[in-house]
């Protein structure tokens, strides 16, 4: 059974620098994921250390933080059936050179940390990450004419 879920995506500084924000957003929109929240913000060390806490001991952690603070990023919340796994599938695996062709990372990037996007990796992480980047009133629940195709019975 599919669940309706929300998940968090960050469009990273390499995508901002390379003027590929629209190309990222369109992939999620054309799939049928609903845009529930979107903003540009500049990340700080405290937020990033929390966000990438699982990588704190890694040698690349300081450069990852520097990279993520190079420009503002675009944060968004997407909603859809099994949105967490659906978005991860569209994003592709961490190393863009071995990610499946057709994914955002494989098609539009070559390297880490500059792999275009972050996406929540579990339902629990999605809840925590949405709360990290958005106030409740910044996340919108609304109906669209296309909901019948993308949610529910699909007819
Ligand atoms: N990263 C990196 N070097 C590595 C592994 C990861 O620079 O060897 C960066 C990369 O930008 C990645 C982010 O750290 O997207 C978070 O790593 P994670 O393992 O959580 O991968 P993700 O969930 O983003 O696929
Ligand atoms: Mg991760």
Mean confidence (pLDDT) of the chain:
97
Atom of ligand 1 nearest to the CA of 121: 23
Q: Confidence class of residue 15 from pLDDT cuts 50, 70 and 90? A: very high
pLDDT at position 153, please?
Answer: 82
Cross-strand pairs, 38: 76
C-alpha R_g of the chain: 15
Which of 81, 100, 79, 82 has the alpha carbon at shortest distance from 91? 100
pLDDT at residue 155 is higher than 90: no
CATH fold group of domain 4-44+72-151: Alpha-Beta Plaits (3.30.70)
- Ligand with the closest atom to the CA of 89: 1
Cis (ω within 30 of 0) for the bond into 61? no
Atom of ligand 1 nearest to the CA of 115: 11
pLDDT at position 154, please?
Answer: 83
Sequence-ordered list of residues with C-beta below 8 angstroms from that of 107, at least 6 positions apart, any chain: 101
Predicted TM-score of the model (pTM): 0.98
> Catalytic site residues?
118
Reduced to 3 states, what is the DSSP secondary structure of residue 124?
A: helix
Residue bearing the CA closest to ligand 1, atom 25: 94
Atom of ligand 1 nearest to the CA of 118: 24
Percent of the chain clearing pLDDT 90 (strictly above): 97
pLDDT tens per residue, range 56-106: 999 999 999 999 999 999 999 999 999 999 999 999 999 999 999 999 999
Which residue from 7, 95, 106, 112 has its CB within 8 A of the most atoms of ligand 1, so it is best to mutate? 112
- Ligand with the closest atom to the CA of 61: 1
Domain limits, the chain: 4-44+72-151
Which residue from 94, 96, 105, 108 has its CB within 8 A of the most atoms of ligand 1, so it is best to mutate? 94
Which of 6, 10, 17 has the alpha carbon at shortest distance from 43? 10
């Amino acid at each position: 059974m599919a669940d309706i879920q929300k998940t968090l995506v960050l469009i990273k500084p390499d995508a901002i620098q390379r003027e590929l924000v629209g190309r990222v957003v369109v992939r999620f929109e054309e799939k049928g994921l609903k845009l529930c929240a979107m903003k540009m913000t500049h990340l700080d060390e405290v937020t990033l250390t929390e966000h990438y806490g699982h990588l704190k001991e890694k040698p690349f952690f300081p450069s990852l933080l520097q990279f993520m603070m190079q420009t503002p990023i675009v944060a968004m919340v997407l909603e859809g059936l099994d949105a967490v796994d659906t978005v991860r599938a569209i994003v592709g695996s961490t190393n863009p050179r071995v990610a499946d062709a057709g994914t955002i990372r494989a098609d539009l990037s070559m390297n880490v940390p500059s792999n275009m996007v972050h996406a929540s990796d579990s339902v629990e992480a999605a809840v925590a990450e949405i709360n990290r980047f958005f106030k409740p009133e910044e996340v919108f629940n609304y109906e669209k004419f296309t909901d019948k195709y993308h949610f529910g019975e699909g007819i």
